[in-house]
A and B are shown apart, each in its own frame.
Chain A
Amino acid sequence: MPMVNIAGKEVEVDEEGYLVDLSQWNEDIAKYMAVEEKVDLTDSHWEVVNFLREYYAEYQIAPAVRVLTKAIGKKLGPEKGNNKYLYELFPYGPAKQACKIAGLPKPTGCI
């Protein structure tokens, strides 16, 4: 699988650019992935990225977008737990793009 050099460290990514070894993740990698995805990381983006990392730590999977939306609504409030808000942050799909930035695998149920 391809290797990329991020902030002086060699990391392995899969064919679609997702980080292979979750434990290598750090903020530099998140920023690199965000540039790849053409996402300008703000505090609102970080909130979702950190939420995903917590979700993964608890359940060992990356959630489907429907599940992510619902869980964010529960934790951060309905004004954030909706498609409009999440797609504004991650236009090419909140689950897909935010998971990549968070260093998680592609969500299960992603067709």
Chain B
Amino acid sequence: MSDMDEMDDGSGIVKKFMFLNRKAPHGTVYALEGLEVVLITAAFDQDVSMVFTDDGVYQLMKGIDTKGIEVKDFSKTYRALEGYDIEKLYVDQVSLDARGLTEDDLIVDVTVLSNDEMANLMAEQDVVISF
């Protein structure tokens, strides 16, 4: 449990943080580490958005089964984000198309953006962190 939950540093500055997820869920530790960083960031009441692009869109796929590779399936954890007040989830249309996926294949509700929309969203951010 975090004592930070109860603490108010009085500054009240809210920055726009974007977490950019580019890699497949397993095989590297990036996806899981990125998710954990987002869950921790949620304690600081910042304006957080998550973007899934390139192979990162596979992180949100329904029906992931990790038994064969003997690692934890954390895909269900993306469903917990709402409870952490992280509701801005974006997916890149081109990345979905390139992999033959649609919104219906994803485990959470997302907003699908075109390249131009994604570029604008990125331009608005104070901080972009890539995993």
Instruction: Give residues in A with beta carbon < 8 Å to B.
Output: 58-61, 63-67, 70-71, 93-96, 107-111
Contact = CB atoms under 8 A, between A and B. Distances in A.
Interface string B34-75: 001001101100000000000000000000000000001110
Contact of B5 (A58, A59, A65, A71): A65
A58 B40 CA distance: 19
Contact of A60 (B5, B42, B76, B84): B76
Given A64-B1, A111-B2, A70 B83 contact: yes
Contact of A109 (B40, B73, B74): B40
A71 B1 contact: no
6 contacts: A64-B42, A65-B1, A107-B2, A109-B39, A111-B2, A111-B40
Contacts of B16: none
B83 A107 contact: no
A59 B4 contact: no
B80 A61 contact: yes
Interface of B: 1-5, 36, 39-40, 42-43, 72-74, 76-77, 79-80, 83-84
B83 A63 contact: yes
Nearest to A107: B1
Contacts of A59: 76-77, 79-80, 83
Nearest to A57: B76
Contacts of B80: 58-59, 61, 63, 67
A58 B107 CA distance: 13
B36 A108 contact: yes
A60 B74 contact: yes
A64 B76 contact: no
Give the top 3 A-B pairs by smallest Cβ distance, nearest first: A95-B1, A59-B80, A93-B1
Contacts of B3: 111
B93 to A, nearest CB: 28
Contacts of A95: 1
Contacts of A109: 2, 39-40, 42-43
B83 A60 contact: no
Contacts of A107: 1-2
Nearest to A95: B1
A94 B74 CA distance: 23
Contacts of B74: 60-61
